[in-house]
Structure formats: structure tokens, C-alpha cells
Amino acid sequence: MQQIIQIKTDKQTALYDITEEIEQIVKKSSIESGIVNVYAQGATAAIMIQENWDDSVQLDVVNLLNKLIPNGVWLHDAQDGNGDAHLKAGIVGPSETIPIINGKLGLSTWQNIFFCEFDGPRNQRNIIISVISF
């Protein structure tokens, strides 16, 4: 089963929790044992599994990436000013694969799935969800 979800982002760089949408797709699939792959379309976006308890970890991720990869100093900035977004997306990566165990995501208590926006805000970002049974 494959489904595309779309989100709107409101910041240049931010993490957006998409766990609930993924859980609903897995539930709809009726797959009890398998994997779900979550893939961000776009060269300036990524997917990350991270702590969900409060926003501090997500903000720390954004702050770290901004310190490591600042805006405005990359060769690609001459084309469209988003060289840092491409580098951040490349380091984090476009996808995550999560096991499905007894029909549910195999995440720990403190893990959620986040869409990482590095070149926002955007009216539409596509995320491809592929659910595969064993």
C-alpha cells in the first residue's frame, strides 16, 4: 500500500510531527507485521525520528543544524539562496523505515516521526508513505 500525505509548513526551518498521520495509514492498511517507509519528496526536506516529549529536542536539532550549516555561505546560494537547506536535507536524509509490530508502529515511548523543513515556508510538501507486509 502506498499513500501520499501533504503538509503545509510555516517556518524556514522546523520539524513537524507527522506520527499520527502515519499511524492512521498503517491502521488502514490492516498489516500486522511489516515495515513502513516514510519518504520526503524534495531536495530540501528530510524525515527524522526523534524524541516527542517536548519541543526542546526538535528546537535543539534546528539550532544545531543552523550552527553547523549556516545560511548564505555556500556556492549553491548563487542559484537560489538555499544551499544550506540542501546540505541539511542531505545530512538528515530523505526517509526512515519503521517496523510494524502487531499492526502498530514499532516506535519506543519517546519516539515520533518528524518531517524536517529546511526551505520553507511551503504551501505543500509531499510525503510518500509505503507500507509493506511480511
Mean per-residue pLDDT over the chain, rounded:
97
How many CB atoms are located within 10 Å of the residue 58 CB? 20
**What is the per-residue pLDDT for 38?**
99
Scanning the structure block, which residue is given the C-alpha cell 509531499?
126
How far apart (Å, rounded) are the C-alpha atoms in residues 19 and 52?
Answer: 10
Q: Tens digits of per-residue pLDDT, 3-17?
A: 999 999 999 999 999
pTM: 0.96
Q: Tens digits of per-residue pLDDT, 82-104?
A: 999 999 999 999 999 999 999 99
The tens place of each residue's pLDDT in the chain, 134 residues long, gives 999 999 999 999 999 999 999 999 999 999 999 999 999 999 999 999 999 998 999 999 999 999 999 999 999 999 999 999 999 999 999 999 999 999 999 999 999 999 999 999 999 999 999 999 99
Q: Which domain holds residue 23?
A: 2-133
**Contact in structure between 38 and 99 (CB atoms under 8 Å):** no
How far apart (Å, rounded) are the C-alpha atoms in residues 125 and 4?
Answer: 10
The CATH number of whichever domain residue 124 belongs to comes to: 2.60.120.460
Beta pairing class for 122-133 and 33-40? antiparallel
Sign of the torsion formed by the C-alpha atoms of 45, 49, 55 and 56: negative
Coil, strand or helix at 100: strand
Number of domains into which the chain is organized: 1
